[in-house]
Amino acid sequence: MLATLPPLIIGLADLTAAFLFLYGLQRMSSPATAPSGILVAGFGMVAAVLASFLYVFSVSAAAQPHLAVNVGLALIALVVGGGLAWLSGKRVAMTAMPQMVALYNGMGGGAAGAIAAVELFGAKTQGATQLLVTLLGALIGAVSLSGSLIAWAKLEGVIKKPLRIKGQQALNAMAMVAALSVGGLILFATLGGAPVLLATPIWIYVFFGLALLFGVLMTLPIGGADMPVVISIYNALTGLAVGLEGFVLQNPALMIAGMVVGAAGLLLTLLMAKAMNRSVANVVFTNFGDAPKQVQGAIKGSLRPVEASDAGIAMRYASKVIIVPGYGLAAAQAQQKLFEFVKLLQAAKVDVKFAVHPVAGRMPGQMDVLLAEAGVPYDMIFQLEDINDDFATADVALVIGANDVVNPAARTEKSSPIFGMPILNADKAKQVYVVKRGEGKGYAGIQNALFYGNNCNMVYGDAQAVLVKMIEAVRGLGAAAA
Amino acid sequence: MDLSITMTGFVALYVFMLAAFAGWVIIGHVPAILHTPLMSGSNFVHGIVVVGGLYALLNASTVQEQVIGFVAVLLGAGNAAGGFAVTQRMLAMFQTSAPTSAHAGAHAHARVHHLHKKR
């Protein structure tokens, strides 16, 4: 009886963890219940980790003499790895969130790859299926590790420009084929019981090397604007790798958790790509910045700048204002100032709403998080499909740090690279104010007809400084009225 | 009592299929406003890989296995702890309008309900 107790506890803990993960994710479907959702999932994780120490009662005879050392190593790894990541996670700025998620994701992929490596080097797998799945998980995990690290480096600004060389795609394909071939070679060598050309462990090193290389090569040419999709893809891939290694270890909790994340990541990837009006293949295999610059029909009209204070006062006397925030707002660290201004407007009985485009930010939904961080209640934040009809009845649309997501060319200009992308109908508002640093173009490098519209005025300057002026102007009014 | 789990061939495929379906359906119900926390939340969930790392490390019998197992636990623990920390931080930021008036409260409630229903 005593011998069956540890596996019973491990089994129950893993089952509980799998259930709590699903339940926790399910609770994430509303902002009100989401905080408890992650907490619940966290309990599941702690239970599974604690229970896995009961493996000490069932280790193989070969590992028995090393048990004390191994337990010590496990504790150190947990404390160091978990501790460092915990601290960095608690400190990271919300604007830097995407690269942090990429980094943690890469770690997961690396862990899955490492588990596969232990299985492969120790020749622990049984039969062709297990070996094949181990190799597949190893490949995906390693690609996810190196790819996520490159994504991190790009978002962090360590790698500034997309690196593109001639014949990139052929090179990528070659790396992929080479990795698969070496994988096949390991498979045959192991099943045949005789090494092919080189000793099998050497091939395993080559296999991991090629997989890591492929992850690097695949991610390097992808531009910064496409990183949200890339992170989402690697999130799905890590989930898949974890699920596959779960099968190898015969651990259903890993299989379920990994596969749930794999499916979730796939769905998010597709949603992201749809919001950008591009296919996932288009994001990964073509380079957005490379699209030949369209010769655009000259846009009639001129840009009309106004003073920030005038724009602020106009909004104070409007009855309905919709704000379109873009990444430029976060880059200027002006979310707090924006909400301060919004509160002033609300105090003057102005109906204010935020309209968020799905690709605003560096990962899906990041703008929502940045607004939430500044204290904006989530019932003021509306997604594209919920608010687009409201613009027609809005007195003012205030566009801050956004550009391509409000470009009407996406609706009309067939030759435009962003044609077909769903956009926010800011141009339908009676009056549009665009806060911008200068006359530059957006990420996609295209002119924006909205700025030249008869109902549009430009407010030039740093978002933070512009908002300070707006706040002062509206406050000044209040004092005069009193 | 037999507690061993053996999943081969089709049983494993069924587990994968059901899990993938569950993930697709559950995530499909999350509103776009929560997509970033969701991504980091699912990122946290695959941190369960640390359990596999622990299994590998505790069963290590050579220095090579110890080193790789150590790396697996180190990275897995980082994935889990970091994923949890950032997700929890982000979700704590989502606040509804202060229900100072009954009207505002009702509005916020309706909005949550709306988010619930929305795909």
Query: Which residue's entry shows tokens 């697996």?
Result: B72
Mean pLDDT of A78-95: 92
A132-162 pLDDT, tens digit per residue, is 999 999 999 999 999 999 999 988 888 877 7
Instruction: Choose the closest CB to A30 out of B59, B98, B115.
Output: B115
Which of A24, A255, A364 is opposite residue B35, by nearest beta carbon? A364
Reported ipTM: the value is 0.84
Residues of B in Cβ contact (< 8 Å) with A70: 57-60, 66, 69
Provide the pairing of β-strand A351-356 with A320-325. parallel
Helices A127-156 and A200-219, axial angle in degrees (round to 10): 40
What is the identity of the amino acid at B13? L
Average pLDDT over residues B71-77: 96
Instruction: Specify the pLDDT at position A352.
Output: 94
Section A65-77 average pLDDT: 92
Shortest CA distance from A235: residue in chain B: B43
pLDDT band at A199 (very low <50, low <70, confident <90, very high): confident
| CA dist., res. A64 & res. A155, Å (int) | 45
Determine which of A1, A9, A29 to mutate to test the interface with B (most B C-beta atoms within 10 Å).
A29
Res. A445: pLDDT tops 70: no
**Which pLDDT does position A292 carry in this prediction?**
43
A386 given a catalytic annotation: no
Confidence check: pLDDT of B99 > 60: no
Q: Answer yes or no: do B38 and A28 touch at CB < 8 A.
A: yes
Q: How many residues does chain B have?
A: 119
State the pLDDT at residue B119. Answer: 39
Instruction: Decide if A245 contacts A175 (C-beta within 8 A).
Output: no
The stretch A230-244 carries a mean pLDDT of 93
Mean pLDDT of chain A: 86
Judged by a CB distance cut-off of 8 A, whether residue A336 touches chain B is no
Confidence of residue A1 (pLDDT cuts 50, 70, 90): low
The answer for A 365-404 residues in CB contact with B (under 8 A) is 365-366, 368-369, 372-373, 375, 377-381, 383, 386
Cβ atoms of A25 and B41 closer than 8 Å = yes
Q: How confident is the model at residue A441 (pLDDT cuts 50, 70, 90)?
A: low
Q: What is the CA radius of gyration of chain A?
A: 27
pLDDT at residue A459 greater than cutoff 70: yes
| β-strand partners of A305 | A458
- Greater pLDDT, A439 or A350: A350
Question: Which of A7, A11, A254 is nearest residue B49 as measured by Cβ atoms?
Answer: A254
A38-47, A219-228, A391-400, B88-97: which has the minimum mean pLDDT?
A219-228
CA dihedral angle for residue A310, residue A311, residue A317, residue A319, rounded to 10 degrees: 170
φ/ψ (deg, to 5) at A196: -100, 120
